[in-house]
A and B are shown apart, each in its own frame.
Chain A
Amino acid sequence: MALPPEHLEYAHRGYGMDQSWYEWSMLPARPAVKWPNGAKIALWVSTAIEFFPLNAPAEPFRAPGSISTPYPDLRHYTLRDYGNRVGIFRIMKVLEKFGITPSVAINSAVAERYPRLIEEVVKRNWEVIAGGVDMGHLHHGGLDEAIESAWIEECLATLRSATGQPVKGWLSPARSQSMRTMDLVAAQGVDYICDWVNDEMPYPITTQNGGLTAMPHSHEINDVTIVLQYKRSEEEFTQHVIDQFEVLYAEAGADNGRIMALTIHPWIIGQPHRIKALENALTHIMGKGGVWAATGTEILDAWRGQ
């Protein structure tokens, strides 16, 4: 028995990456970055307003947090909907206490279902990022191009109309893309993409329809990863956030700037026993000095301006 010959052929073996979306680039080799007012850290808090449909398909896979027991999975459906009814308002209070304006990735289905919630978001000037249609509409390699394009159009048109904002950021549900997702969102006026987890700073992406910037929307310092996947306690959540922050702060040093991205979901961190874990982490970070809390677009504009 042998493998077909293609298994020992390496078409992309050579300098740089094996795809053409972005260039190989080592973080320490890049020029220093300066943030407004000499801040060392740009703190980017991102939250999410999501709809996990009761009939989400099992194929090609289910988004983390998706319904998972046999239909009708009221348990997970309502646990997630808790975030939109209750948890998000706890997050709003904590962020207001520190004067932090976050970015929020919204599934357009929520804008149609809960306009009252969107009003509260808009009133607070939160920056709206497009989060896809809902957590059952996953972009993936097997998705028909026309369908994918229509989903993106539906998401962006709904959110732009509901919020009056330009909506320039994109976060795919479950960070899942097809080979064309970035081409399609770039064609529809998206400016930056939040799906990539390979960097701690912005970097350029090339698409067939112009450029995008990859923004380091955190997957690790993210309550889905820390609490749902790693099953950490509330104290450990706070510790992870502070540890991340302290290392980035030290690395920024006297003449560089770093981004501390913190991703939170109202159905996780918005639970009564967890919300203080967020507050405690932010108390540490915002008490430090040299921290600029900003939205994704604000950070991107400052980064591009140098």
Chain B
Amino acid sequence: MAGVQKSDPDLYDYWPYLDRPKIVWPGGAKVALWVAPNIEYYELDPPVNPSRKPWPRPVPDILTYGARDYGNRVGHWRLMEVLDHCGVRGSVSLNVALCGHHPEIIEACAKRGWEFYSHGIYNTRFCYNMDEAQERAIIEDAIETVKKHTGQMIAGWLAPALTHTERTMDLLAEYGIAYTCDLFCDDQPQPVNVKQGKFISIPYSLEMNDIIHYNVNLGAPRRYADIIKANFDQLYEEGESSGTVMCIPLHAYAVGHPHRIGPFAEALEYITGHDDVWVATGREIAEFYYENYYDKTAAAIAAQKVGG
């Protein structure tokens, strides 16, 4: 498969945000809210993938390594308190090797009924240039590791450091994983076209992602709260006609700093203070969608497909 690059990933059909089958979330909710803390381990000196360097500076890049480690030592515990306070169970995007490095974090999350899904082995191991056997090996590793440490079968997948191959989605579906977080093209779940079985995308937002806000857009803490609230207000309004999904992806090493946590807590309180919000996990949204909307939506998409 090396060599020829496609113009379209061939993962989904065009499906306009118009006249879709109406989604109503449990309890008549308009918005399904899920909060996705990324719990990550970055290695100091990993093997270097030919397509991407692990660190901006030469190894040992202790500045960036330390900034990531801060999330586990300090930020996670502060962030978990905010989620507890708002009655939110996290859906953990997990570098599964962390189960071995920091089992205390896994235990604290498991005790709270949080969901664990895979974000690869380490955030410093990228999927670029893997062959199929290697990609299968990391999927099997993720499934086995999370099962061993938490008893959960992973339902979701966010590619490690957002690195993919053309075969990733087919393999995930084959292994019985329910949803991907890697497609950013919608505010509602959507079927993903895979070789066998059923597979869906659950909206995971890069726009609401604290790393994009802080490290890419260089945003301020109060502005982060403002955009979270604005994003929610709009999705809540539209959710009246058909239920929407709002995801807040987080990294304790970013949002968990003392000067950033307050405005985030205030935004989360604002959202969870609304009546018609279903505070859920990724797995719960996926299960509800498969049960109630997958077939209906897949049929509607097939019927409107150009030339289909």
- Contact residues of A with B, CB < 8 Å? 1-4, 6-8, 10, 12-19, 24-29, 60-61, 140-142, 174-179, 195-200, 219-221, 229-232, 236, 239-241, 243-248, 251
- The reply to whether B103 and A15 contact each other, CB–CB distance below 8 Å, is yes
Residue B226 at the chain A interface, CB threshold 8 Å: no
Q: Which segment, of B70-78, B149-157, B294-302, faces chain A?
A: B70-78
- The reply to whether A16 and B101 contact each other, CB–CB distance below 8 Å, is yes
With the chains together, A178 CA to B57 CA distance in Å?
Answer: 11
With the chains together, A10 CA to B44 CA distance in Å?
Answer: 12
- The reply to whether A28 and B63 contact each other, CB–CB distance below 8 Å, is no
Minimal beta-carbon separation of A9 from chain B (angstroms) = 8
Q: Which residue of B lies closest to A242 (CB)?
A: B259
- The reply to whether B70 and A198 contact each other, CB–CB distance below 8 Å, is yes
A2-B134, A196-B62 known; A236 vs B257 contact (CB < 8 Å)? no
- The reply to whether B101 and A198 contact each other, CB–CB distance below 8 Å, is no
- Residue from B59, B73, B102, B130 whose CB has the most chain A CB atoms within 10 Å: B73
- The reply to whether B218 and A244 contact each other, CB–CB distance below 8 Å, is no
Q: Which of chain B's residues have a CB closer than 8 A to the CB of A243?
A: 221, 258-260, 262
- The reply to whether B259 and A244 contact each other, CB–CB distance below 8 Å, is yes
State how many residues of chain B have any CB contact under 8 Å with chain A: 53
Interface residues in B123-173 by Cβ distance below 8 A to A read 125, 129-131, 133-134, 137-138
Partner of B60, one of A174, A179, A244: A179
With the chains together, A232 CA to B218 CA distance in Å?
Answer: 9
Given contacts A13-B97, A27-B73, 17 further A-B contacts (CB under 8 A): A2-B134, A4-B47, A7-B49, A8-B138, A13-B101, A14-B100, A15-B101, A17-B69, A27-B77, A60-B57, A195-B62, A198-B69, A198-B74, A219-B63, A243-B221, A244-B258, A247-B261
A-B contact pairs, 20 of them (CB 8 A): A2-B134, A3-B47, A3-B49, A7-B49, A10-B122, A14-B101, A15-B101, A16-B101, A18-B45, A29-B104, A61-B57, A175-B63, A176-B57, A177-B60, A198-B70, A198-B73, A221-B259, A232-B220, A243-B262, A247-B259
Residue B29 at the chain A interface, CB threshold 8 Å: no
Majority secondary structure, A binding face: loop
With the chains together, A185 CA to B102 CA distance in Å?
Answer: 30
A7-B49, A8-B137, A232-B220 known; A140 vs B43 contact (CB < 8 Å)? no
Interface residues in B47-65 by Cβ distance below 8 A to A read 47, 49-50, 56-60, 62-63, 65
Q: Which of chain A's residues have a CB closer than 8 A to the CB of B47?
A: 3-4, 6-7
Q: Which of chain B's residues have a CB closer than 8 A to the CB of A221?
A: 259
A1-B131, A8-B138, A230-B220 known; A199 vs B74 contact (CB < 8 Å)? yes
Residue B121 at the chain A interface, CB threshold 8 Å: yes
Partner of A28, one of B45, B67, B77, B129: B77
Q: Which of chain A's residues have a CB closer than 8 A to the CB of B68?
A: 198
Residue B66 at the chain A interface, CB threshold 8 Å: yes
- The reply to whether B259 and A240 contact each other, CB–CB distance below 8 Å, is yes
- The reply to whether A178 and B60 contact each other, CB–CB distance below 8 Å, is yes
With the chains together, A18 CA to B220 CA distance in Å?
Answer: 32
With the chains together, A200 CA to B69 CA distance in Å?
Answer: 12
Q: Which residue of A lies closest to B105 (CB)?
A: A26
Q: Which of chain B's residues have a CB closer than 8 A to the CB of A15?
A: 100-101, 103
